[in-house]
Amino acid sequence: MADRLARVLTVDGLVRGVAAVTTDLCDDARARHGTFPTATAALGRALTSALLLAATGKRDERLSLEFSGDGPLRGLLVEATPEGTARGFAFRPKTDVPPRDGKLDVGGALGTGQLCVMRVPLEGGSMYRSIVPLVSGEIGMDVASYLAQSVQIPSAVGVGVLVGRDGAVTAAGGYLLQGMPGADPAMLDRLAARVEQAPPPSELVHSGHGPADILAMLLDDLPARVLEERAVSFRCRCSTARVRAAIIAMGRDEIGALVAEGEPAEAVCEFCSTAYTVGADELRALLDSMAAGGEGASA
């Protein structure tokens, strides 16, 4: 099953759902950052959560989740767009802690701390920011708690990552169900009970369920329409041009020092681990162009 995300709305308009299969995306993140199993699960759950939340937001904003905790993992920073791209990293990627109840102990790795949710408009405008304490550090529960506390939308969130013996991600995915204003509380309770009894999302993905299948299974007898289905992938916004801009921002003295040493400038994007090298010749050219620009400005 290729990575996909689906959005549905029940025919009565009272429950909306988003689900995603994110196996390749999570394994891409693992390979890029070299994460160990517990960190792989934590990062995959966070990336999947960000995609689900971004799909419920506005079309023109980016969503970011920053988990920080006092456990060995320390934290996670992930971002997603409504177009279905996500990027992110674990603060300590080589984190692996003993399993708890036969499962990867993401909550133990993250510890106690907080979740900061940001919605950043792409074209300027004011940023939305909300901070809530972590309830379990298991990611899905923390996101559900944020939705209940900060946005006050009754929500069920499930995210899961299955890591194989070789450390690669074998299945990953998640879902988010939300009651809209006017939804009958008794119906939402029945829905919550069904979600509770459902197999974890990683198992559903492992057994071949696509995102629309997962939602149909969770919504059971509620007739719903699929509003959208799209591909999702790990994609970063970094580029050679951005690295060059960052070097220019270092200032002429620092660049001049690098040029004097004949050393290239090296940078690694923390979101995707792509390494950039700007050679000595290019640095000299950058410095020359800055010098020309500086004289022009003062003349």
- Residues engaged in binding Zn ion (CB under 5 A): 236, 238, 269, 271-272, 274
Q: Please tell me what DSSP assigns to residue 62.
A: E
Strand 113-121 vs strand 265-268: parallel, antiparallel, or unpaired? unpaired
Task: CB nearer to Zn ion: give 183 or 272.
Answer: 272
The least CB distance from residue 6 to Zn ion, in Å, is 27
Residue 91 identity: F
Q: What's the min distance (Å) between Cβ of 29 and Zn ion?
A: 12
Closest distance to Zn ion from the beta carbon of 9 (Å): 34
Q: In whole angstroms, how close is the CB of 242 to Zn ion at the nearest point?
A: 9
The residue among 245, 248, 252, 280 whose CA lies nearest residue 265 is 280
Residues 235, 240: Cα–Cα separation, whole Å:
15
Backbone angles phi, psi at 198, to 5 degrees: -70, 150
Distance CA(285)–CA(297), nearest Å, equals 18
Could you tell me the smallest distance in angstroms from the CB atom of residue 84 to Zn ion? 17
Pinpoint the alpha helices (H) of the chain: 23-33, 37-55, 106-110, 140-146, 185-197, 201-206, 211-219, 240-250, 252-261, 280-298
Cα separation, 175 vs 158, in Å, equals 5
Closest CB to Zn ion among 157 and 272? 272
Minimum CB distance to Zn ion smaller for 151 or for 236: 236
Judged by DSSP in three states, 49 sits in helix
Q: Which is nearer to Zn ion, 192 or 246 (CB)?
A: 246
Looking at beta carbons only, is 229 or 270 nearer to Zn ion? 270
How many CB atoms are located within 10 Å of the residue 152 CB?
Answer: 8
Cβ at position 168, least distance to Zn ion in Å: 21
Q: Which is nearer to Zn ion, 8 or 43 (CB)?
A: 43
